[in-house]
Amino acid sequence: MRIPTRVFEPNIFCLHRLDQQHAEIRETYQSLEEAILAGQGMAGIAEAADSLVQMILLHFSHEELFLEKLSFPILQRQRSANAEITAQLFAIEDGLRQEKPAAVFQLLLLIHDWIKEHMQRECEEFDGPFPGKQLHGIPA
């Protein structure tokens, strides 16, 4: 697994940048789905899956830095949730290295659920509830 190197990029400490990352995660998720549907083979699918994992790990680090900078009260809860998902991502990446097709589908399911739950929670915590709003293409 590569280590995220963009942790120190400028302007990470803003909600707008985190929203951009959410959109990038959704696009990367869709790229993985497209790789599967196009029958790219395990090598192409694993590359798309790795990109998705890296994007999420980068987002976690940026999000935690953002919450820490603002002394936001959900920081510890978010760190715990991120640690749990990160552990699952490491296990999935191990399966991808072993070229286990089930690992790809575990990743898709994990990230689909994470996107839906995470985006909904952030809308409520940062912006207030948005009933019926679509969150980066996933209905709330």
Residue 86 inside a domain? The answer is yes
Within a domain: 70: yes
In one-letter notation, the amino acid at residue 113 is D
Residue 136, pLDDT score:
43
Give 137's DSSP letter.
T
SS3 labels along 7-62: CCCCCCCCHHHHHHHHHHHHHHHHHHHHHHHCCCHHHHHHHHHHHHHHHHHHHHHH
Owning domain of residue 19: 15-139
Write the CA distances from 86 to 1, 110, 124, integer angstroms.
Answer: 12, 11, 23
pLDDT number for residue 34? 93
Indicate whether 4 belongs to any domain.
Answer: no
Count other Cβ atoms within 10 Å, centred on residue 55: 20
Assigned domain for 8 exists: no
**pLDDT tens track for 118-139:** 766 666 665 544 344 444 444 4
DSSP code at position 124: I
The whole-angstrom distance between residue 47's C-alpha and the CA centroid of its chain comes to: 16
Question: Which CATH number characterizes residue 103's domain?
Answer: 1.20.120.50
pLDDT tens digit sequence for 69-116: 877 787 888 889 889 999 999 999 999 889 898 999 999 999 999 888
The pTM assigned to this predicted structure is: 0.74
Instruction: Classify residue 73: in a domain, yes or no.
Output: yes
Question: Does residue 9 belong to any structural domain of this protein?
Answer: no
Q: What does the block give as tokens for 53?
A: 């994992």
Residue 112 within any structural domain of the chain: yes
Give the chain's domain count.
1
* Predicted confidence (pLDDT) per residue in 20-42, tens digit: 888 999 999 999 999 999 988 88
* Domain-embedded: residue 132: yes
Burial 63-93 (b: 16+ CB within 10 A, else e): beebbeeeebeebeebeebbeebeeebeebb
